[in-house]
Amino acid sequence: MGYANRIVSAQGKQPLLSFGVISDVQYADIPDGRSFLGVPRYYRHSLLVLQRAVHKWNEQKTKFVINFGDIIDGFCPKDQSLSAITRVINEFNVFNGPVYHMIGNHCLYNLPREKLLQVLNIPSIDGLAYYDFSPIPEYRFVVLDGYDISAIGWPKGSQKDIEGLEFSSGKESKFRQKQSKWTCGA
């Protein structure tokens, strides 16, 4: 009665699909330290944690993986950002299936949005990082761009940068008006 991926529902049936989720790898090739809040951080060790996750996903024949962002840490030296993100992507590439990435704030502290879209293979229109995918028929996953309206990640002085700065400074009433149109006032 064993299944290849050892995942069984309460009714004893194999699920339609299984997928992996990971967030905040926050790799940097720097000595261990502490976050701004004093939480211990093990920057180099994060690659080992990712390797273990990838091994487990492969072992369980996981269909795909979603990375919720922050694959490199904000403390990563800027001159090492691209090589750091490349090391992490190489670990994700060991996974035997597709990996779907999201951009996190630590990513944007390190690299321009355009570069992140390219290296993370995120499809984009006008620099936006939202997209969808369908891993099996009749199921669609929608990946959102959490930094669409943001004070970070857009070229300085661009319309998106100005909107993000206005929003973060409390001048968001026009954004609420825009949002209430498509959210039906939710």
The model's pTM? 0.84
* Contact assessment for residue 25 and residue 120, using Cβ atoms and an 8 Å cutoff: no
Structure confidence by residue, pLDDT tens digits, 88-112: 999 999 999 999 999 999 999 999 9
| 47 within a domain of the structure (yes/no) | yes
Q: Please indicate, yes or no, whether residues 112 and 160 belong to a single structural domain of this protein.
A: no
Quick check: is 2 in a domain? no
Residues 6 or more apart whose CB falls under 8 angstroms from that of 165 comprise: 151
Q: Are residues 79 and 111 in the same domain?
A: yes
Confidence of residue 1 (pLDDT cuts 50, 70, 90): very low
Phi, psi for 173 (deg, rounded to 5): -60, -40
Instruction: Provide the pLDDT for residue 151.
Output: 87
In a domain, 39, yes or no: yes
Q: For residue 4, what pLDDT band results from cuts at 50, 70 and 90? A: low
Residue whose C-alpha is closest to residue 135's, from 66, 67, 182, 186: 66
pLDDT at 175 > cutoff 70: no
In a shared domain, residues 114 and 175 = no
Examine the domain organization and report whether 80 and 157 are in the same domain: no
Query: Residue 89 belongs to a domain with what CATH number?
Result: 3.60.21.10
For residue 2, the model assigns a pLDDT of: 44
What is the model's pLDDT at position 178?
Answer: 56
Number of C-alpha atoms within 13 angstroms, CB side, residue 58? 12
Same-domain check for residues 63 and 104:
yes
Query: Within this chain, do residues 77 and 115 fall inside the same structural domain, yes or no?
Result: yes
Q: To 10 degrees, the CA torsion angle through 174, 177, 183, 186?
A: 110
Residue 177 confidence (pLDDT):
56
d(CA 161, CA 175): 14
Q: Are 166 and 178 in contact (CB under 8 A)?
A: no
User: What is d(CA 131, CA 125) in angstroms, rounded to the nearest whole number?
Assistant: 9
Domain with 179, as residue range(s), is 149-186
Predicted confidence (pLDDT) per residue in 107-150, tens digit? 999 999 999 999 999 999 999 999 999 999 999 999 999 999 99
